[in-house]
Amino acid sequence: MRARRPFATARAIGAALLALLGLFGALDRGALAQTPARSATPARAGVFDYYVLALSWSPTYCADPRAAARDQAQCGSARRYAFVVHGLWPQNEVGWPQDCATAVREAPPALAQQQLDIMPSARLVQHEWRTHGACSGLTPQAYFDLTRRLRAAIATPPAYAAPDRPLLVTAADVRANFIAANPKLRADGLAIRCRNGRLQDVRVCFTKAGAPRTCGRDVRDRCDGRVQMPPVRAGAAPPATRR
């Protein structure tokens, strides 16, 4: 009997280990099941919850030499842009649809040209239609008409109209200035995004009918501390001022 006791002990230890592994596996699966997916969610055109209007600070984009070389119409022209429309994006409360099936893969060239005052790149116009506009359930004409109407509804804060020197701002500064210029906007209906120490864009949330609304969980500030807003018209690079 003594000779068998070690084998019995080994079997018992093995069984215990297997039980623990099964418990850990169940816990891991439970934790994963409670973690929501953050990626884009496939959906049918027209099936979404609200819109996000993304207003890009053009001087930040053009401060990247690669972007400046690629988009001469935006970064190399005599005109200098401040906030431009990056896109109008159908959004869900969690996640977003994109690349929806559509019979119209490109906006008509004449229509794309008409957007260049607010979206100064024909390539961007076509990309936004294919990736986001097709999910709106609208025709290209109706989608870009809505984009223009929502952009026109947002007044650019005077401090950001055409600064000739770098500005130092925080997300709170930008939000306060936008609400001062647009009293109907909600503090929780704006998201301020930054990258590499510079303001990247301001995202404004609208209902499908075009009224300001609270942003969903995926549309949040991504901007820490003070960041720079490069000037619209750069002079002799004076010191940055806070606004």
Question: What pLDDT is stored for residue 47 in this prediction?
Answer: 95
Question: Is 35 a domain residue?
Answer: no
Question: What residue numbers bound the domain in which 161 lies?
Answer: 50-234
Question: Is 243 a domain residue?
Answer: no
DSSP string, 191-231: EEEEETTEEEEEEEEE-TTS-B----TT---B--S-EEE--
Q: Which residues contact 64 (CB under 8 A, 6 or more apart)?
A: none
Question: Is 14 a domain residue?
Answer: no
Question: What pLDDT is stored for residue 137 in this prediction?
Answer: 96
Question: Is 11 a domain residue?
Answer: no
Question: Is 131 a domain residue?
Answer: yes
Question: Is 218 a domain residue?
Answer: yes
The tally of domains found in the chain comes to 1
- Cα separation, 36 vs 240, whole angstroms: 41
CATH code: domain of residue 217: 3.90.730.10
- Reading the chain (243 residues) residue by residue, the pLDDT tens digits are 444 444 444 454 444 444 443 433 333 333 323 233 334 455 689 999 999 999 999 999 999 999 888 888 888 877 789 999 999 999 999 999 999 998 899 999 999 999 999 999 999 999 999 999 999 999 999 999 999 999 999 999 999 999 999 999 999 999 999 999 999 999 999 999 999 999 999 999 999 999 999 999 999 999 999 999 999 965 434 345 555
Q: Catalogue the active-site residues.
A: 86, 128, 132
Contact assessment for residue 140 and residue 107, using Cβ atoms and an 8 Å cutoff: yes
Question: What pLDDT is stored for residue 27 in this prediction?
Answer: 33
Question: Is 17 a domain residue?
Answer: no
- Cα separation, 179 vs 209, whole angstroms: 20
Question: Is 212 a domain residue?
Answer: yes
Report pLDDT digits (tens) over 44-65: 899 999 999 999 999 999 999 9
- Cα separation, 223 vs 133, whole angstroms: 27
φ, ψ for residue 42 (rounded to 5)?
-65, 140
Question: What pLDDT is stored for residue 72 in this prediction?
Answer: 86
